[in-house]
Amino acid sequence: MWQQVYDPLGSFALSTVAAGIPVAVLLAALAFFHMKAHLAAGLALLVGIGIAGFVFGMPVAMAGKAAGYGVAAGLFPIGWIVLNIIFLHRLTTLNGYFKALQNSISGVTEDRRLQLLLVAFCFGAFFEGAAGFGTPVAVTGAILIGLGFSPLAASGLALIANTAPVAYGALGAPVLALSAVTGLDLLQLSAMIGRQLPFFSVLVPFWLIWAFAGFRGMREIWPAILVAGVSFAVPQFIVSNFHGPWLVDVIASIVSMGSLTLFLKVWKPKKIWTSTAIVNRHDTSMDDIAANGASAAAVEANAGAASISMVRAWAPWVILSVFVFIWGTPAFKKIMDGLWAWKFAIPGLDQMVVKMPPVVSKPSPEAAVFNFNVLSMAGTGILVSALTAGLMMGYSFTRLLKEYWETIKLVRYSLLTICAMFGVGYLTKYSGLDATLGLAFAHTGMFYPMFGTLLGWLGVALTGSDTAANVLFGSLQRTTAEQLGLPPVLMAAANSSGGVMGKMIDAQSIVVASTATKWYGHEGDILRYVFFHSIALAILVGFLVTLQAYVAPFTHMVVR
């Protein structure tokens, strides 16, 4: 067995710098050296194995197994989701259904800002609540690029919109995981997060439109933005405080979509915004689409879109919503796992890595069991919905198999990138690099409410999942809060609430966005665009948590 070491260099500052090198290599390779994402991730993985083995003392063979475990976890379930959602998108694009869907959205409003609200914020929140794990960015990014938004706008804005709902994504999975690792009451955690995020559920739609259309463009449609935000935030608060974490996003998104659609029947902006590029930014991403041109098949499909009714156009996505929701319910997952699920304990890694105090209260061996529960994975629900929708749209089984193979070829580099990114994330987890970074935040004393929130942000940026970040740092948040005399429920909740703002810069989400918008090889451009928005919103969450800790302690009380 190998015990994690958090200060191998005898200087916590130097050890922290060393722990951050793999992440720094990944971000620099993407953002500044413009490397292809799969090469950047591969380089970061090799550097990470070197740091883990030769600086932190992890056996190199064990480090390699941790990376391999991450690669497998990246392919299933995340890569599985991406592959199948792109397959459905491809099917609807080839026969004109997707063009008809775009026309139906344009029928609600021709204003691009309002389309962005409906698709990226409202519709995306539903998929976050039902499935999570990259599904909303894949769906909304594909729809936005189909509506004519530039690839940078479709990618970046889909990521910005997919923030406020994340803490309750996949039917409350992040909150359930947080309760499990901290031992804190589930309903108290749900309620506390529900007293932090509703402020941002109102703010994020304004921020989203400001990022796209500038302040003046945002001001022109502020009533609609307010309707979308408030109609999401109020149900989010009520359900999280009086029911629990399971249906928060599903209910809030349905209320928000319905409220905004009804509002737009009685209110119209004075000026229709028609541009699909980001304002006040040299956005050349449209040139990439123009350079590729339109295939003959796509032109033929667009020509046939006029004969497809709105009901038929939405049918594949309604089918997707139904299957994703069913696959997300715990009872259905249990049934599927009962039919077949394969668990493989990684030899030489499972129970062989020991987390040590002060990260945990006592030495705790880490499990490393790959759970290949493919029947209950959200990606399988998406695949079943794609096949069902494909048959409904008139595809033959032979044609479906052909298009599935074409989809695999289309996203092969994206899948490779996702796997490598997860390899980096799992390596940092098992080697203790992430814990060293976390402990650096824990040494901030009275400023911990701010830095503890940013720790959650860092956790999601590293792992790509609010659920994983809660598992990673939840116990540390509770331990540190108790040592500093802060409410443990507050800081555990802050880990999840701060984490949602890291979702837009995690490498996996960026790869999903670039794949969904077919803007391959531009992950660095997307990262540079969303980074400011991510850190700025995370700091605002930190300010709110600081106020809750020192100025408004009544917010610690939980409504029962």
* DSSP line for 260-319: HHHHHHH---SS-----SPTTS---HHHHHHHH---HHHHHHHHGGGGS-HHHHHHHHHH
Q: Is the pLDDT score of 483 beyond 70?
A: yes
pTM above 0.85, yes or no: no
Task: Tell me the pLDDT band of 467, cut-offs 50, 70 and 90.
Answer: confident
For residue 26, name the pLDDT band (cuts at 50, 70, 90): confident
* Token duo for residue 172: 């409350």
pLDDT tens digit string along 505-534? 987 789 889 888 888 888 889 999 999 999
Max CA-CA distance within the chain?
Answer: 71
Tell me the torsion sign for CA atoms 104, 109, 111, 116. Answer: negative
Which pLDDT tens digit goes with each residue over 243-266?
Answer: 989 889 989 999 999 999 999 999
What is the rounded CA–CA span in Å between residue 104 and residue 232? 23
Residue 472's Cβ-count burial label (10 Å; 0-12, 13-18, 19+) is buried
pLDDT at residue 543 above 50?
yes
Query: What is the tens place of the pLDDT at every residue in 104-143?
Result: 887 889 999 999 999 999 999 988 887 676 778 988 998 8
Alpha-carbon gap, residue 263 to 227, rounded angstroms: 8
Task: Indicate the SS3 state at residue 365.
Answer: strand
Q: Judge whether residue 318 has pLDDT over 80.
A: yes
Query: How far is Cα 67 from Cα 419, in angstroms, rounded to an integer?
Result: 9
The fraction of the chain above a pLDDT of 90, given in percent, is 52
With cut-offs at 50, 70 and 90, classify the pLDDT of residue 41: confident
Question: Beta strands of 106-207 (E only): which ranges?
Answer: none
Question: Residue 367 carries which DSSP code?
Answer: P
Q: How far is CA 237 from CA 67, 99, 136, 165, 333, in A?
A: 39, 36, 21, 12, 27
